[in-house]
Amino acid sequence: MAMVILQLPTVQRGSHFQPLSWNLRMKVALGAAKGLAYLHSAEAKVIYRDFKTSNILLDTDYTAKLSDFGLAKDGPVGEKSHVSTRVMGTYGYAAPEYLSTGHLTAKSDIYSFGVVLLEMLSGRRAIDKNRPQGEHNLVEWARPYLTHKRKIFRVLDTRLEGQYSLSGAQTIAALAVECLNFEAKTRPSMDAVVSILEGIQDSSEARKPAAERHQDPKGAGKKMTSASVGRDSDKPRRKSSNDLRKEAGRDPKPSVLHST
């Protein structure tokens, strides 16, 4: 199956980048959220540690798959609340408490998901030094606008105008704020995130034009990102990150895949 890498909420066709629609962005966000939710489940108990846009792969139907488990860690066991580890990951996506203490939890992944969700909303990179002063860090720049109904339009990608409902945009903005909370314990679980995104997906599907429902995603040079997590096993046995890498059939080293 041909896969493509998500660098931003765009698809590359030849030398041109075509922005993804609101509905497709929500579909990608939901697929990635389901992958993280599985990793955090009682069956797997794995912390991804390096969730970011470029680790999301998409197939020709824009179904999101998680990739690159090179930094994944088994979650805490017994009475332990976290895993102590050397700080690794990607600047702009890592949770603040992980950067300051090296304490890794599933909530660290949820912060990273909030960053990716914000990239989906804004069409901006998590870190972009080409932006004006004060806008280099997406989270720091956008945070003050996300909690104000009238100001969230400063964050929303202008290329999405007319494609979303106000309530839908406000719901996603509020979800991003929750995921990006400085207090890790108050961030939602990935199961809760999935439930919210499923509601958005259902409402978006009802409003989707017929032409978009049959949109052909195939195209030369198309790029995107996601991570794929298999759900093949029904056994309650806890799986290590190595097991998951083998099931997913992924090279644990970072890689870039291009559509063929």
Catalytic center residues: 50
Q: What angle do CA 133, 97, 200 make, to 5 degrees?
A: 75
Which residues, 6+ apart, have CB-to-CB distance to 107 below 8 Å? 95, 184, 185, 187
DSSP assignment string, 19-75: EPPHHHHHHHHHHHHHHHHHHHSTTT-EE-S---GGGEEE-TT--EEE---TT-EEP
What is the Cα–Cα distance from 34 to 38, expressed in whole angstroms? 6
103 with 84: CB under 8 angstroms?
A: yes
Question: Could you say which DSSP state residue 11 is in?
Answer: E
What is the Cα–Cα distance from 62 to 77, expressed in whole angstroms? 35
